[in-house]
């Protein structure tokens, strides 16, 4: 879904925390709330939220996925923007659900798709924040991994624009940047050797530019790459883009 799609924008939003925030990356959810509140946005967090349904969808169990998606749509019912700090979960609402409900139209599912924003896309293209009032203490070279699920969305350009506007930050291009990191959700489990080779190639290209920091908009990609890099003894410090926005903010 392109950044020009007419989605609701406002200073009151619903936050979908995602499974990975719940299990591993709670600080990404915290950073999302802190950054949005800095921008004057009231963030509501429905307590009975669970998963978007993507794991079951990717494995082909669409009956199970549709059940989870319907619950998700009921939890986030209404007319407020739904903010997601994950390109892949946002893509599930925007694209995956359209596929799996093509023969079973559901108004709540359609509404959720029409109101979902990935958080960086929302900040830049929804709220119109074009420059970030942040600063690194020293010159910082950033390698930005866009992630496959953010293709055909405004997220990649939004992330690059905001990161590049931070004082002392330089977003440095690297080889084959558009290639997949190899995670692909259940792909990494079903085809672990191919997944690992793809991730290792991505790490090679990232390390070629010797970045100070790897930034991404999908925690799953960052987790996959960091796990492979750690096993090979060549880790690169990494953060979600929204964490960088929070951590560099000049108060």
CATH code of residue 167: 3.40.50.11810
| Percent of the chain predicted with pLDDT > 90 | 89
What whole-number distance in Å separates Cα of residue 39 and Cα of residue 99?
34
Which residue segment(s) compose the domain that 235 sits in?
135-248
Whether 205 and 143 map to the same domain: the answer is yes
Q: Which residues contact 115 (CB under 8 A, 6 or more apart)?
A: 7, 8, 76, 79, 80, 81, 82
The reported pTM is 0.94
What pLDDT score was predicted for residue 120? 98
In a domain, 1, yes or no: no
Residues for the chain: how many in total?
251
What pLDDT score was predicted for residue 44? 98
pLDDT in tens, 32-91: 999 999 999 999 999 999 999 999 999 999 999 999 999 999 999 999 999 999 999 999
* Mean pLDDT on 194-211: 96
What whole-number distance in Å separates Cα of residue 219 and Cα of residue 2?
22
| Dihedral-angle region of residue 16 (phi above 0 means left; psi in -120 to 50 means alpha; beta otherwise) | beta
The answer, yes or no, to whether residue 1 has pLDDT greater than 50, is: no
In a domain, 195, yes or no: yes
247 to 134, 135, 201: CA distances (angstroms): 8, 9, 29
What pLDDT score was predicted for residue 251? 63
| Residue at which a domain ends, from 126, 155, 180 | 126
The answer, yes or no, to whether residue 2 has pLDDT greater than 60, is: no
What pLDDT score was predicted for residue 185? 83
* Mean pLDDT on 12-21: 95
What pLDDT score was predicted for residue 144? 97
Whether 187 and 226 map to the same domain: the answer is yes
In a domain, 3, yes or no: no
| 3-class SS of residue 1 | coil
Confidence band for 184, pLDDT divided at 50, 70 and 90: confident
Confidence band for 5, pLDDT divided at 50, 70 and 90: low
The answer, yes or no, to whether residue 3 has pLDDT greater than 50, is: no
| Whether 53 contacts 186, CB under 8 Å | no
Number of folded domains that form the chain: 2
What pLDDT score was predicted for residue 26? 95
Whether 121 and 143 map to the same domain: the answer is no
| Residue at which a domain ends, from 96, 126, 156 | 126
What whole-number distance in Å separates Cα of residue 55 and Cα of residue 116?
19
* Mean pLDDT on 124-136: 97
Q: Lowest mean pLDDT: which of 1-5, 107-111, 216-220?
A: 1-5
* Mean pLDDT on 161-180: 96
What whole-number distance in Å separates Cα of residue 245 and Cα of residue 243?
5
The answer, yes or no, to whether residue 111 has pLDDT greater than 90, is: yes
The answer, yes or no, to whether residue 4 has pLDDT greater than 80, is: no
Q: What is the mean pLDDT of the chain?
A: 94
Residue with the bigger pLDDT between 185 and 154: it is: 154
Paired tokens of 154: 């405004």
């Amino acid at each position: 879904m392109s950044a020009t799609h007419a989605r609701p924008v406002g200073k009151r939003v619903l936050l979908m925390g995602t499974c990975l925030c719940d299990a591993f990356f709670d600080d990404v959810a915290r950073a999302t709330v802190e950054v949005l509140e800095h921008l004057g946005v009231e963030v509501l967090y429905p307590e009975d939220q669970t998963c978007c349904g993507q794991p079951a969808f990717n494995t082909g169990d669409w009956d199970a996925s549709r059940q989870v998606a319907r619950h998700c749509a009921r939890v986030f019912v209404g007319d407020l923007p739904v903010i997601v700090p994950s390109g892949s979960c946002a893509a599930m609402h925007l694209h995956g659900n359209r596929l799996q409900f093509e023969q079973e139209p559901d108004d709540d599912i359609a509404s959720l798709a029409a109101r979902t924003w990935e958080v960086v896309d929302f900040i830049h293209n929804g709220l119109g924040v074009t420059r970030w009032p942040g600063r690194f203490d020293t010159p910082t070279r950033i390698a930005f991994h866009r992630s496959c699920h953010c293709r055909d969305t405004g997220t990649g350009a939004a992330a690059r624009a905001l990161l590049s506007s931070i004082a002392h930050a330089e977003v440095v291009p690297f080889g084959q940047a558009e290639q997949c990191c190899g995670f692909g959700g259940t792909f990494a489990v079903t085809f672990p050797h191919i997944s690992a080779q793809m991730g290792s190639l991505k790490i090679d290209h990232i390390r070629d530019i010797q970045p100070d920091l790897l930034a991404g908009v999908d925690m799953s990609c960052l987790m996959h790459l960091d796990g492979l890099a750690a096993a090979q003894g060549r880790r690169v410090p990494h953060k979600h883009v929204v964490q960088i926005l929070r951590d560099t903010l000049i108060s």
